[in-house]
Amino acid sequence: MVRYTGAEVQRMEDPRLLTGHGRYVDDIHLPGMLHGAFLRSSHAHARIRSIDTSAALALPGVHAVFTQADLAVPDVAQSMNQLYPAPVIHQDITQHPMATDEVCYVGQTVALVAADSRAIAEDALVLIDVDYEPLPAVVDCRTALADDAPMAHIGSENNMAGQLKSAFGDIDGAFAKADHVFTGSFMQHRGGCHSMETRGVLARDEPYGEGLTIWSSTQCPYLVRRALATHLGEPEDRVRIIAPDVGGGFGPKAGFYPEEIVIPVAARQLGRPLKWIEDRREHFTATTGQRDQQWDLEVACDKDGKMLGLRGVVIHENGAYMPYGALLPFTSVTPLPGSYAIPALDVRLDIAFTNTTPTTPVRGAGRPYGIYAVERMVETIARELQIDPAEVRRRNFVRADQMPYETGAKLRDGMPVRYDSGDYHACQEKALELADYAGFKARQDAARTQGRYLGIGVSACIEDTGVGPYEGTTVKIEPSGKIMVRTGAASQGQGHHTMIAQIVSDQLGVQPEDIMFEAADTGKFPQGVGTIGSRVTANVGPSSFDAAGQVRETVLKLAAETLEAAEQDLELEDGEVRVAGAPDLKVTLGELALKLAPMSGGKIPAGFSPSLEATSYLGSSGSPVASGSNVAEVEVDIGTGEVRVLRYSVAHDCGNMINPMMVDGQIIGGVVHGIGNALFERMIYDEQGQPLTTNYGEYLLPLASEMPHIDIVHQETPSPLNPLGVKGAGEGGTIPAAPAIVAAIENALADFGVVIDYYPVDPQYLTELIDAAGAQAAE
Amino acid sequence: MADKREITVTINGQAQTAEVETRTNLADFLRHELELTGTHVGCEHGVCGACTVLVDGAAVRSCLMLAVQADGHEVTSVEGLAAADGTLHPVQEAFWKNHGLQCGFCTPGMVISVAAFLKDNPNPTEADVRSAISGNICRCTGYQGIVAAALEAAETMRQEG
Ligand code: FES
Ligand code: FES
């Protein structure tokens, strides 16, 4: 009787958002509210000798100016807590909510002005006089670990923030017996967050000592609660975090930021609500993102291109501080060796401090780097051995009959990396068929006769999704007969309300419209984790399914007593329980709810508990691993270096789909994000650590006019790790995009022997490569 | 004190008179003075298109226009697009059906831009639509649902005449 799960249900969220009735942080106006603006470091590295705020304070309309010393926190010398401590971290340096005596990147918080309006607050910022003593800055991660590099932090002996390694199998033996060893050396650059809504924080200290209420555009309200309460030394229940509508997250909104301490503390000191909304320039320097990784790899293979071992070293640009532990570095190497069964691996990653904005995960986290790296080596083998790249993949894929498959690598918690299910061969064949891979040669030849250069590129990926430990749901039948569903999981546009409503309405025989939904408010649901790592469907899916299932059981048991019928004769449909064959014998869900919620003097039926509700924290028993194969077809203008993506085909497997329309939306949005990484998005710093790309004229995002139509075909290999058979889908579009695009560009330029060792592949870089490869000579 | 002027603007069919600072842009005026928060601000430098509204029927970036410049003009924001009885505009309806939005932040600007475009271009190709919305950035959808929505809305509007 499944009616909604698996169907393309139109989203419950949309009518509100389409008519301008969303409620994002900046839409909330509180009585008496003041507005904040931050003074941020203009230096990549400097000592602060003094800060004079007197002129700013004297400006009419300014209520207060705060520096770190002015904050009423238990210990102003305390820096922010490490969110994810790990033994691989050598120098656990986090920033203070506002700088004390040193700034280590442009954009670091130095002071806050609170004023009657944002405009006045910004007027006051220029009146603050900071006496900086500039210090040498380290910017390029490739030289940051050299002996003569400037130190990113005063007092450090080197810039090594941490080091980690992923290794298994007999790596020396693999290389000793190899027919071929190929090397690859390349830099990868992934851009920033660029959610269309910037970050924002609004805080109010509730009267009568009821604690702080904070609205933040966060992906992880419970993490913010934990971190803020810890910093303030207060019980978590005195801090309520609400993530209202959030305009995109993509990872960088999953952290805990200085503003999330400073704004609440200042609001409390002012006795007035205080709002700060990040402007777009701030977003470029104050919101974390991803940037550079330098990879130097060697692959060992036999004469048929079957990979035997992979080894090498990675340098990771960490930025100035480590707010987010080593999660980004970890997720860069743990996906190795991707979709392939490679018996031996040895990859070390060095985490380098630089005087740039800290890095944390962006859509896919480190996985796009790791997958790109292994895909590059596959392409190298194909090129060197003159084997079709799709065939090299076929020869190396983990086979369906090997599932569940342990790669040999270990997760952060020391558990083995295990692929639960999937059929990578079949998935790739679907992608090749969708892309008409077989017909490409003819298209390429035809184009070449017109002087046009077409190329095709294939990629494959795995994605570990649904990381635990839980994301709970409460399902409650109200006396009105409506269903109230609450979860901690925050949405930044994924459509959680719709997904959960589909699952719950099937369980309870109601319409999705009957489901009321509240999420991401720590005052409404006791505990949660957050929306990261494609984890919500694989965690909230099972918990809502289970909670609704428990309620269903109670409903049927109670209805059986009420109707004096056997449970197996009952039908739950249209919001009521009926006795099969006796349509008049029925009771509504609302009536049943009332039976378990009597008022004074009433009685709860024996064997039942008050309130017709259940809470479940059921998740997935392990990480469901999604997979996919992509094929990109591009045209390269060899004169200008411009790359146009003509066609893009995706075969994706995220297990069973709750709402295929929303899955497609995740995949397409993810692919476009990945194409942006491959071709456009570049956060540039000069040698002094000054950011050069801080608006959307300088930093290019993918636009509709540049994007291809994306074709998708799904393969549904259920995950055995949860009762719905689902896997996450949020990042599987992004991860394989850059390797497919880059392979396609190389394929288009095969005549020139162009090998790409950097992305984003912008026109200038590409023309340089073409020129260097002797394009002239080839003409 | 900041320079202030009194302005009268017709917003979604209603004349509104207010005193504004001359430096206040139209987006901030709508959002913070009138509490019409449907119009979003994504970049404040004229690139993202989230703040697009109609001024005298033409699509305008409200972050690049001062509120005082709207004095005496007619502004339609996303709140004014649906019919008075709540019936969605064909463009809104098509966005809903074609999954043309995820987080909804670019959506008001997108919907307004598409509505303005279709008024002048009732029979666009996919390439026309992609070019028409190339001044509106969406980080979530990859644009495909938006393009499909615009084409479907064009069809509906042609039929409705
Ligand atoms: S906010 Fe006006 S164009 Fe971006
Ligand atoms: S729907 Fe999120 S930016 Fe477009």
Q: Is the CB of B48 under 6 A from ligand 1?
A: yes
What is the share, in percent, of chain A residues with pLDDT greater than 70? 99
Q: Contact A604/A612 with Cβ under 8 angstroms? A: no
Angstrom CA distances, A630 to A146, A647, A648, A649, stand at 38, 11, 7, 6
Taken in order B48, B50, B53, B58, the sign of the CA dihedral is positive
Per the structure block, which two tokens stand in for A389? Answer: 């790249």
Any domain includes A122? no
A635 with A766, same domain: the answer is yes
Measuring CA to CA, which residue among A213, A410, A396 is closest to residue A299?
A396
Q: Is the CB of B82 under 6 A from ligand 2?
A: no
Q: What is the CATH number of the domain that holds A547?
A: 3.30.365.10
Mean pLDDT computed over A564-593: 95
- Closest ligand 1 atom to B135 CA: 3
First to last CA, chain B: 52
Instruction: Give the span between the Cα atoms of A134 and A154, in whole angstroms.
Output: 12
Nearest CA to ligand 1 atom 3: B46
A546 with A584, same domain: the answer is yes
Domain around A590: 468-616
Longest dimension (CA), chain A: 96
Mutate to test the pocket of ligand 2, among B48, B92, B107 (most ligand atoms within 8 A of CB): B107
What amino acid is encoded at A152 in this protein? A
A523 with A555, same domain: the answer is yes
Work out the pLDDT band at A758, boundaries 50, 70, 90: very high
- Closest ligand 2 atom to B139 CA: 3
Q: A490: helix, coil or strand?
A: coil
Q: Contact A749/A453 with Cβ under 8 angstroms? A: yes
Bridge partner residues of A314 (DSSP)? A295, A349
Work out the angle at residue A682's Cα, subtended by the Cα atoms of residues A680 and A688, and round it to the nearest 5 degrees: 155
pLDDT in tens, A51-107: 999 999 999 999 999 999 999 999 999 999 999 999 999 999 999 999 999 999 999
A662 with A573, same domain: the answer is no
Per the structure block, which two tokens stand in for A341? Answer: 């069964």
Q: Is the CB of B153 under 6 A from ligand 2?
A: no
- Closest ligand 2 atom to A197 CA: 3
ipTM at complex level: 0.98
pLDDT in tens, A297-341: 999 999 999 999 999 999 999 999 999 999 999 999 999 999 999
Q: Where does residue A498 fall: left (phi above 0), alpha (psi -120 to 50 degrees), or beta otherwise?
A: alpha
Instruction: Give the span between the Cα atoms of A77 and A102, in whole angstroms.
Output: 13
pLDDT in tens, B74-88: 999 999 999 999 999
pLDDT in tens, A254-293: 999 999 999 999 999 999 999 999 999 999 999 999 999 9
Q: Which of A597, A616, A635 is the last residue of a domain?
A: A616
* One-character DSSP codes across A78-113: --PPPSS--TTBSS-----SS-SSEE-STT-EEEEE
Mean pLDDT computed over A388-393: 98
Q: Contact A629/A691 with Cβ under 8 angstroms? A: no
CA A118 – ligand 1 centroid, Å: 17
Task: Sort out which chain B residues have CB atoms less than 8 A from A11's CB and list them.
Answer: 96, 99
The mean predicted confidence, pLDDT, of chain A is: 96
Per the structure block, which two tokens stand in for A65? Answer: 């100016």
Q: Is the CB of B137 under 6 A from ligand 1?
A: no
Measuring CA to CA, which residue among A445, A424, A444, A448 is closest to residue A435?
A444
Domain count of chain A?
2
Ligand nearest to the CA of B105: 2
- At residue A252, φ and ψ (nearest 5 deg) are -60, -20
Mean pLDDT computed over A244-249: 97
Instruction: Give the span between the Cα atoms of A330 and A162, in whole angstroms.
Output: 11
Bridge partner residues of A275 (DSSP)? A35, A202
pLDDT in tens, A701-734: 999 999 999 999 999 999 999 999 999 999 999 9
CA B40 – ligand 2 centroid, Å: 11
Instruction: Give the span between the Cα atoms of A413 and B160, in whole angstroms.
Output: 60
A502 with A632, same domain: the answer is no
Q: Is the CB of B50 under 6 A from ligand 1?
A: yes
Measuring CA to CA, which residue among A142, A151, A166, A164 is closest to residue A93?
A151
Q: Which of A616, A639, A659 is the last residue of a domain?
A: A616
Measuring CA to CA, which residue among A144, A271, A220 is closest to residue A687?
A144
B43 vs A20, A280, A671: nearest CB: A280
Q: A324: helix, coil or strand?
A: coil
A245: distance to nearest CA of chain B, Å? 8
Query: Residue A411 has what pLDDT?
Result: 85
Instruction: Give the span between the Cα atoms of A669 and A707, in whole angstroms.
Output: 11
A742 with A761, same domain: the answer is yes
A54 CB-contact burial (10 Å; exposed 0-12 / middle 13-18 / buried 19+): exposed
**Is the predicted pLDDT of residue A583 greater than 90, yes or no?**
no
Give me the torsion for CA of A701, A705, A706, A710, rounded to 10°: 110
Domains in chain B, start-ordered, CATH in brackets? 4-79 (3.10.20.30), 90-160 (1.10.150.120)
> Which chain A residue is nearest to residue B100, measuring alpha carbons?
A665
CA A102 – ligand 1 centroid, Å: 34
Any domain includes A475? yes
Work out the pLDDT band at A773, boundaries 50, 70, 90: confident
Any domain includes A373? no
Query: Residue A1 has what pLDDT?
Result: 56
Q: Which of A595, A616, A637 is the last residue of a domain?
A: A616
pLDDT in tens, A133-183: 999 999 999 999 999 999 999 999 999 999 999 999 999 999 999 999 999
Task: Sort out which chain B residues have CB atoms less than 8 A from A668's CB and list them.
Answer: 141-142, 144-145
Mutate to test the pocket of ligand 1, among B29, B43, B139 (most ligand atoms within 8 A of CB): B43
A601 with A628, same domain: the answer is no
Any domain includes A685? yes
Measuring CA to CA, which residue among A536, A399, A564 is closest to residue A470?
A536
**Number of Cβ within a 10 Å radius of residue B37:** 23
Work out the pLDDT band at B65, boundaries 50, 70, 90: very high
Q: Is the CB of B140 under 6 A from ligand 2?
A: yes
Measuring CA to CA, which residue among A202, A591, A33, A14 is closest to residue B104?
A14
Q: Where does residue B142 fall: left (phi above 0), alpha (psi -120 to 50 degrees), or beta otherwise?
A: left
A577 with A646, same domain: the answer is no
A438 with A474, same domain: the answer is no
Work out the pLDDT band at A414, boundaries 50, 70, 90: confident
* C-beta atoms of B105 and A248 within 8 A: yes
Instruction: Give the span between the Cα atoms of A521 and A515, in whole angstroms.
Output: 18
**Is the predicted pLDDT of residue A779 greater than 60, yes or no?**
no
A648 with A773, same domain: the answer is yes
What is the share, in percent, of chain B residues with pLDDT greater than 70? 99
Report the run of H or E that residue A117 belongs to, with start and end.
Answer: none
Any domain includes A402? no
A197 vs B38, B105, B134: nearest CB: B105
* One-character DSSP codes across B31-97: IIIS--TTS--S-SSSSS-TTEEEETTEEEETTSSBGGGGTT-EEE-GGGTS-TTSPPPHHHHHHHH
Task: Sort out which chain B residues have CB atoms less than 8 A from A697's CB and list them.
Answer: 45, 47
Q: Which of A14, A62, A712 to mutate to test the interface with B (most CBs of B within 10 A)?
A: A14
Q: A749: helix, coil or strand?
A: coil
Any domain includes A131? no
A773 with A697, same domain: the answer is yes
What amino acid is encoded at A650 in this protein? V
CA A518 – ligand 2 centroid, Å: 21
Instruction: Give the span between the Cα atoms of A582 and A724, in whole angstroms.
Output: 33
A390: distance to nearest CA of chain B, Å? 26
B136: distance to nearest CA of chain A, Å? 8
> Which chain A residue is nearest to residue B51, measuring alpha carbons?
A196
Report the run of H or E that residue B158 belongs to, with start and end.
Answer: helix B144-160
Instruction: Give the span between the Cα atoms of A544 and A536, in whole angstroms.
Output: 11
Q: Is the CB of B103 under 6 A from ligand 1?
A: no
A131: distance to nearest CA of chain B, Å? 29
Question: A608: which residues sit within 8 A by CB, 6+ positions away?
Answer: A554, A557, A558, A595, A596
Measuring CA to CA, which residue among A411, A428, A416 is closest to residue A339?
A428
Task: Sort out which chain A residues have CB atoms less than 8 A from B144's CB and list them.
Answer: 668, 707, 709-710
Give me the torsion for CA of A525, A529, A532, A536, rounded to 10°: -50
A647 with A612, same domain: the answer is no
Any domain includes A189? no
What amino acid is encoded at A626 in this protein? A
Any domain includes A498? yes
Measuring CA to CA, which residue among A227, A172, A173 is closest to residue A201?
A227
A688 CB-contact burial (10 Å; exposed 0-12 / middle 13-18 / buried 19+): middle
Q: Is the CB of B99 under 6 A from ligand 2?
A: no
CA A348 – ligand 1 centroid, Å: 43
CA A366 – ligand 2 centroid, Å: 23
Per the structure block, which two tokens stand in for B65? Answer: 């226009």
Query: Residue A777 has what pLDDT?
Result: 54
Q: Contact A505/A449 with Cβ under 8 angstroms? A: no
- At residue A535, φ and ψ (nearest 5 deg) are -110, -10
Angstrom CA distances, A544 to A2, A232, A447, stand at 15, 33, 53
B6: distance to nearest CA of chain A, Å? 19
A357 CB-contact burial (10 Å; exposed 0-12 / middle 13-18 / buried 19+): buried
B133 vs A493, A697, A704: nearest CB: A704
What amino acid is encoded at A500 in this protein? I
What is the share, in percent, of chain A residues with pLDDT greater than 90? 97
Q: Which residue has the tokens 């480190």?
A: A366
